[in-house]
Amino acid sequence: MTKAFSLSVRGFSFAAREPRSTLLLLRMASWVAALTLLMKFLPLPVALKFLTPRARAANAVDSEKIQDELARLLDLLLATDFWIYTPTCWKRAPVLHRFLALRGIRTRIVFGVRRADRQVLDGHAWLEAEGRPLLEAVAPDYTVTFSYPN
């Protein structure tokens, strides 16, 4: 069985189980594709500006539940590890930033580096809200090199 066929079966199964989430997942997939394309042709700040929607009023109702659900869906998409949908932090952070902003949850995208060993740098991208990491299993221990919005 090919990976594409297996993913198709899983996709139809997901759509049957969670029809309301399916449309949101498809929207996320389109923004992952857009980000991947934009990053090939535009500087990072310009690509991030394109992805960022206009500010919406803050929505404190079930904010944590919304964050967890959006992260779950995006992580599910990126975990397919198919074509451009790879579990990559530089895709996760901006797309999650967009969908959280659409729900009135303000975040900042942060990029950082650290030494993995003497000759190798390790990089990571994550979200922060009110100066604290958001939706990270472990607090990032990186030197910040860029953040958006500044």
- pTM metric for this prediction: 0.90
Q: What is residue 7's predicted lDDT score, i.e. its pLDDT? A: 72
Q: What is residue 22's predicted lDDT score, i.e. its pLDDT? A: 93
- Which residues on adjacent β-strands are paired with residue 110? 126, 147
Mention every residue, 6+ apart, whose C-beta is less than 8 A from residue 31.
51, 95, 98, 99
Q: Mind listing the pLDDT tens digit of every residue in the chain (150 residues)?
A: 687 777 778 777 877 888 888 999 999 999 999 999 999 999 999 999 999 998 777 766 778 999 999 999 999 999 999 999 999 999 999 999 999 999 999 999 999 999 988 889 999 999 999 999 999 999 999 999 999 998
Q: In this predicted model, what pLDDT tens digit does every residue of 18-41 receive, in sequence order?
A: 888 899 999 999 999 999 999 999
